[in-house]
Structure 1
Amino acid sequence: MKPRDLAIYVFLATAWGLSFLVVLKVVAAFGWVGAVTIRAFIASFTLFALARLMRRRLDFGAGWKPFLIVGATTVAGQLIGLSYATPLIGTATAAILVASIPLFSMLISHVWGLERIGATGLAGLLLGVVGILLLVGFPAVPVTTSFVVGCAAALAACFSAAFGSNYASHRLRGEGPFEVTIGSFLFGGIITLPLLLVIPVPAIPSATDFLYLLISGCVMSATTYVLYFQLVASIGATRAISVEFVVTVVAVFVGAVVLDEPLSAIQFVGAAVIISGCALVLGFVPWRVRRLAQTPIPHQDGVP
């Protein structure tokens, strides 16, 4: 990995890992619907303005439907699910569940005929399922209805993200990172906007709350997604998506140390099992690393 790619990789892992902490702040101030809707519009408009300042030509030649589908899944589905779930189950548990995205991605890719799951990948998927069961079934906190619902929402968000990533890689491969991010976040915001009539912003946010919202939209959405697309184009989608492992480590550390969130010993085992399963699915195992390193890297653009 080139130094520039490594720097992007580390930045993405840090920014997305810390984003769980920001999500808690933004959801508390704007509600879980408002947090996603306003964040999506901020990300889309920020990148559009930046493109104009850079005199960058934007070409949405793929039409509006692919951007609508990616916006509905990767933006609306993923962010709504995680924004709703994180306050219920905590940042650490939510982050560990996010590590299941590569598992869902590989499964969807196999069903669509984009990739085949071999024996190693199948073993990884089974390990991932076992890890999720350990994580959800043996928490350090009481298993309440809200905890179960929160876990279900987080898993639905992860599946939605994996679906959108595969769809974008297939249908928006020829689009640039600015176009994919602007289009998907714009449609994601439009889709969630009507929900504000049902789940409005709970109170008038403070200046600090708006600062967290700007960080969420400008840094942890607009900037990170564009950099992620560049990383995919440089090192390939399979290697790039492995950043989710490091994101989980950062977020769990933040949840356990900064927020003092409890995790049971069995949940730590579940986290290790999930990450091991993902490593098998993605081929990050000793007997396949050399073959993976020798594989030509295709140019792909997708949404994580």
Structure 2
Amino acid sequence: MKPAEFAAYMFLAVAWGLSFLLVLHAVAAFGWVGAVTLRCFIASLTLLIIARVARRKLDFSAGWKAFAVVGATTVAGQLVGLSYATPIIGTAMAAILVASIPLFSMLIGQLWGLERISAQSLIGMILGFSGIVILVGFPAVPFTAAFALGCSACLLGCICAAFGSNYASRHLRGSGAWEITIGSFLAGGLMTLPLLIVIPVPTTPGLSDFAYLFSLAIIMSALTYITYFRLVSLIGATKTISVEFVVTIIAVIVGAVALDEPFSVIQAIGALVIIAGCALVLGLYPKRRTAQLLAPDITCERDF
């Protein structure tokens, strides 16, 4: 992974880790449907305005169908699942389920022949998910019908995210990150808009509520998804989605600092396990220089 790609990867981790806090505020003020719908439209419109001001040429020749599929899955499906589930099951359980996205992505990518999963990447995925369980733990809440529904919604959103990312990698390879982000968010907003008739905005939002919503839409949707889809095209869907492991670490740290949630030694160990797993998936460990061991003279000449 190149330095620029790693910087983009860490930007996604920090932004999406902080987004857990903003999602709770936005859902409380706008409802889970309103928060997703408005978030989609604001993100899409913001990027269109920036592109127009910057005179950036946009190419949507890939067709509405491809953007609609990504909008229905990676955007609408994922955001609806998380927005509905997080207030019900809590950020801890939501974080555990979100960590399953790279695993689903790995399986879909393998089935579609998009990526060849190495033994090292597979071990990294297992380590990353194990670290999530150690880091977050399972919340001590009663298992009710609402809790089960929330977990199911969150898990469905995770599957949608993994499917949409691989679909974009396969069918929108020739489209730019700006086009994919604008098109998918516009499609996602249009798909969730009719649900406002059934589930309207519950209260009259205040100025601070709109501040949370716009931050969520512009910084943690528009900018992050451009970065995200760009990384998918550069390093593949599975490696890009492995950022969800680091997202959980950031979310736990934010919870400990901003919400006074406890952070134990066991959780610190879990964070280290997650980092080790991500390093395996991303190939950050130095590889053995087989060529140098077999032909040192030739390798030395190449180095100079």
The answer, yes or no, to whether TM exceeds 0.5 is yes
| Residues 287 and 118 (structure 1), Cα distance of their counterparts in 2 relative to 1, 3 Å cut | same
| Residues 105 and 235 (structure 1), Cα distance of their counterparts in 2 relative to 1, 3 Å cut | closer
Cα distance in 1 for residues equivalent to 2:248 and 2:145: 24
- Equivalence for 2:112: 112
| Residues 289 and 195 (structure 1), Cα distance of their counterparts in 2 relative to 1, 3 Å cut | farther
Deviations 1:124-150 (A, max 9, x none): 677788888999994333333333222
1:224 pairs with 2:221:
no
Q: In structure 2, what residue type is equivalent to 1:94?
A: A
DSSP-derived class of the 2:170 partner: helix
Q: In structure 2, what residue type is equivalent to 1:86?
A: T
* 8 A contact 1:103–1:128 mirrored in 2: no
Cα distance in 1 for residues equivalent to 2:135 and 2:259: 19
- Equivalence for 2:176: 176
- Equivalence for 2:298: none
Q: With structure 2 as the length reference, what TM-score do the two structures score?
A: 0.81
1:143 pairs with 2:139:
no
Cα distance in 2 for residues equivalent to 1:217 and 1:289: 43
Query: Considering only aligned residues, what root-mean-square deviation do their CA atoms show, in Å?
Result: 3.3
Cα distance in 2 for residues equivalent to 1:15 and 1:285: 22
Cα distance in 1 for residues equivalent to 2:274 and 2:4: 29
* 8 A contact 1:90–1:261 mirrored in 2: no
Shift of the alpha carbon at 1:7?
Answer: 3.4
- Equivalence for 1:77: 77
DSSP-derived class of the 2:59 partner: coil
| Residues 290 and 80 (structure 1), Cα distance of their counterparts in 2 relative to 1, 3 Å cut | farther
1:24 pairs with 2:12:
no
User: Alignment identity in percent?
Assistant: 66
Gaps of 5+ in 1: 292-304
- Equivalence for 2:205: 205
| Residues 119 and 219 (structure 1), Cα distance of their counterparts in 2 relative to 1, 3 Å cut | closer
* 8 A contact 1:103–1:278 mirrored in 2: no
Q: With structure 1 as the length reference, what TM-score do the two structures score?
A: 0.81
Cα distance in 1 for residues equivalent to 2:126 and 2:6: 30
Q: In structure 1, what residue type is equivalent to 2:158?
A: C
Deviations 1:56-104 (A, max 9, x none): 1111011100000000000110000000111112223322321211100
1:154 pairs with 2:160:
no
Shift of the alpha carbon at 1:47?
Answer: 0.5
Shift of the alpha carbon at 1:246?
Answer: 1.6
| Residues 192 and 79 (structure 1), Cα distance of their counterparts in 2 relative to 1, 3 Å cut | same
Q: In structure 2, what residue type is equivalent to 1:72?
A: A
Q: How does 1:82-93 map to 2 (within 5 A)?
A: 82-93=82-93
Shift of the alpha carbon at 1:214?
Answer: 0.6
User: Which protein has the larger Cα radius of gyration, Structure 1 or Structure 2?
Assistant: 2
- Equivalence for 2:100: 100
| Residues 192 and 270 (structure 1), Cα distance of their counterparts in 2 relative to 1, 3 Å cut | farther
DSSP-derived class of the 1:47 partner: helix
Shift of the alpha carbon at 1:5?
Answer: 3.6
Shift of the alpha carbon at 1:271?
Answer: 8.2
